[in-house]
Structures are given as structure tokens and as C-alpha cells.
Structure 1
């Protein structure tokens, strides 16, 4: 007795091809920089690029029973490194998403770093960090560079050139680390806050 075996094409088993799910492709699709994942597992999430698109899609979304879907986890999908780190530090959710789009995404590099520092190092929330971001003094570089620059500005002119090679900048930097200066990394760049005790 013979049985019919699945035919193959180019050496591939057609039955196996039929059973194997095909990975979805996003070629040519605009997915958006963010994703709203419903907490209702019966509803499908959606991509979006701005607050207006999010609002429109959220209000229109229904689960399979026709009930509105109201609660989402907001995920950053395709932001640059600095924006992604700030988005995560701020724990952006539905309640803060509008302010993220209205105010945070357009901040410049220094302002984003200042907000990140206030949230990540000083425990501020979004509202407080945005209010105090201009009070943060930042040095673009590590703490040793910042301490060296500060020492030279304050004392360099009063020290004879033949004695400057004896200055222990690392010891001065250690003292600064116990004071106002805090080194941190953000967006792939090292910064030093030189006013940490005043934030």
C-alpha cells in the first residue's frame, strides 16, 4: 500500500511551508516612533508619531466585544538614544504623554541632559524637572575636566607657571565630587553637573 507524500518544490517540503507562519513584514510601512500597548490583551495595539494621532487611534480602538479600550502602556520604539533614555527616566505614560509631545521632545541637548539629571539623580518628577531645568549648571565632559577648569578659573592666575605642574587636579576633583559636582552619562555623552547641591 502506498501513501501520497507531499510534493516538494526546489527541495522544500510544501506541508512544512504551509504550517510555518510567515514573519510579518514592515517594508514600506510607516509605523511611528511610539507604540500604545493595551492592557486589555484582547485588543491590538497601535503605532503613532504624535499626540493627535495617539488620541485619535485610542478613542477609536475597540476590543472584540465592541468595548472601548482605555488603558495603555506607552512605549518608545524609534527615538534617538538621548530621547529614549529621557523617555524611560521620566516613565512617560498616558498622563504625561501630552506634555512629552508639547514640551519635552523639542528640548535642546543641554536641556534634555538637565532634565535627565534632575529626574535620575535628584528624584524630581516631570513637572518639577521642567521647572528647574534652567537652574542646572552643566559641564560637557567628566568631573576631572570640570574640576580642572574650575580650579584654573578661580586660582590659575595667582599661581606661578613654574608651580602649576605640582597641582594635584585629581585630589581637587575628589573634593569637588563630595561637594557640588556630580558626573553622569546621558545619550552617550558624559556630563558633570556643577551645581548639584543647589538643585
Structure 2
């Protein structure tokens, strides 16, 4: 309620004073930036005190939620919520407590406003096994087809063939490439061990 009253006075002051629209917009943007910085600092500095023995991960999350305004979001299939652990911290930042709770898991957290989102750790490049696929697209007579769209199925990532019908794209093994061209039937090719693809 106090924030609303402050905002009304602030904007009322801007309207009653004879200042240019550009100046008013600049002041508003500055004010919004300050509020955003304040919120980010709050997230980084919020602390908890926990004395939990042999509690489940879910119970630890509930204890953090009770002491803060944070809400937890996670996929039950990605995190073992029944894993028991002990947490004994006094006036520790929430970030450090979360790092302790998630040790030994394949999960990481993201703080977004008043939400803590637990997700799978992003794969490292070694785990992803990206490889470069080169290929050429031709019609049934062997004539090169320029401008054929080559997309990774289920995404917007892709490329197009050049004037000679050649393309190059980096994909993970097991990815399906979708080839489409005006006037031609769409075709899908599963990328396995091959480095070259001729269509």
C-alpha cells in the first residue's frame, strides 16, 4: 500500500511540474531500474537459520519457505525428494543453503524474484556430443536444390542449403533433421553415426 501511495505522489509530481516528456520517461526508467536493483539485492542477501536432522529434501524446502517468501518449483522426476539430510546453519544466505542441499544431485537452482526453480544441470559439451553434419540436397535427377530448410525437429534451430545444395549443421547424435522445400514433400532424417547426409 505504501509503495502505491509513493508511486502516485511520484507520478503526480511529474505531471504537475512542467518537464519534458523525455525527462519524465528518463526519471521513470531510472526509478524502475532502482527498484529492480533493490529486488535483486534482496534475493542475494536473504538469510535463514535451520537446525534440521535427517529431514527429507522436501522438508528442507518447506523450512526455507517458512522463513522466507520463496516458493519452490521442481519436477518430482528430476529430484529425489525423499533423500534425507541434515542441515545446521545459522544466518546463512539462502543460496549457500541450496548449494549444500543439492550437493550430489544432478540439479541446480535458479532464483527468480520470489521463486526458486530446481532444474537439471545443463549438460557439459562433453556430454552433449555435438557433431557437424555436412550434406547435399538434390532432386531425383541429381540437380542441386538451393534454399532447402534444414531444421532440428522440435526446434527453430536450423540452416538452409547454399546455391550448390550444400549445408552444414551441428547436432547431437539421435537428432532428427527435417528437410523442407516449396513444392517438395518434407523429409526427415535421423542423425546417427554419419557425418555426411545426402538427400
TM range (shorter): under 0.3
TM-score normalised per structure 2: 0.19
Structure in which a larger fraction of residues adopt strand: 2
TM-score normalised per structure 1: 0.19
Structure in which a larger fraction of residues adopt helix: 1
